[in-house]
Amino acid sequence: MHDFLDHGLLARLSALPLESRQAMIGSVAGKHRSPHRGSSVEFAEYRKYVPGDDTRRLDWKAFARSDRFYIKEFEADTNLRAYFVVDSSGSMNFASGETDTKIQYARRLAASLAYLLVRQGDAAGLSVCNEKIHLEIPPSRSASQLQHIFDNLSKVEPTGETGLTEALHIIAEKIKQRALVVILSDFFTDPEELGEAFQHLRYRKHDIALFHLLDRQELDFAFDRPHRFIDLEDNSTLVAEPNLIAEEYNAALNDYLVSLEGKANDAQADYRRIVTDQDYEEVLSDFLTNRLR
């Protein structure tokens, strides 16, 4: 069994459903709202009767009150498709101290959420990308799908430069029906370009969830002597005295974080900044709880 799966945690979280924040379109009956009207038990609204409507849906009490025919409409429920997009560029292999690397943390989150989705009868799929999308597993509700996702997550080795922006545009076009798109990345790329990709997903009516994974050292920049900094994506190096660049670094980091979160909010994405020393059960529990209708 894969070591990034915690069965005790999954058992504790199983009482919390993973829900979409918006209407979905699926192929089988499920528990998520659909944009189409149906005949489930949750009342939506009345509308006037027109010839050809199913007379079994006439509301006779409304007719008695108004002497007019009205049709009852209900929310149609559907199943959910979720696509987990995992960034496998070189920077995802970073960790300071004894914490997980960002890719290890992403594996835990993606695997746990995929398990919970399939367990509740929904479909999960996986895309992995660095310079390009190099793995795509279409969503499925089958039990064997989980093993397929877990096996491939275990093989992900971060390398190369990021191509996340281009990958998201491709994914936005490939997904034909509304879906939950969960993106796990450190998002080390231009926020303006990322914002355009988020808007593309929003335009296609997808529910977007962003897990922005950062190491504590990237936020605190706690160095007390000169260091050689290595870019994990293109292997370039820079020797610097941290005390001399800390102020400029922190200002640039803050501008980047504010810009990225703003772009996420503009696209109505569910944005979560995660530090890899955070307890991931708390991260998952908070994510699930805040998505409940």
H helix or E strand, kind and range, residue 94: none
HSE, CB side, 13 Å, CA atoms: give it for residue 80: 28
pLDDT at 77: 45
Which parts of the chain sit beneath pLDDT 50? 26-30, 32-41, 43, 75-78
Q: Is the dihedral of CA 206, 125, 210, 78 positive or negative?
A: positive
H helix or E strand, kind and range, residue 242: helix 242-266
For the chain, the domains span 7-19+80-290, 32-78
pLDDT digits 0-9 by tens, 158-191: 999 999 999 999 999 999 888 999 999 999 999 9
Place of tokens 């991260």: 283
pLDDT at 76: 44
The backbone torsions φ and ψ at residue 224, rounded to the nearest 5 degrees and listed phi first, read -120, 10
Strands 32-48 and 70-78: antiparallel
- Spatial CB neighbours of 75, under 8 Å, sequence gap ≥ 6: 33, 34, 37, 38, 40, 42, 43, 44
| CATH code of the domain occupying 7-19+80-290 | 3.40.50.410
pLDDT at 72: 64
- Spatial CB neighbours of 122, under 8 Å, sequence gap ≥ 6: 18, 30, 32, 79, 80, 81, 82, 141
pLDDT at 66: 79
What's the pTM value of the predicted model, to 2 decimals? Answer: 0.81
- Spatial CB neighbours of 151, under 8 Å, sequence gap ≥ 6: 2
Place of tokens 């049709």: 71
pLDDT digits 0-9 by tens, 4-35: 889 999 999 988 888 888 765 544 444 544 44
Q: Which of 117, 62, 55 is nearest to 84 (CA)?
A: 117
pLDDT at 67: 75
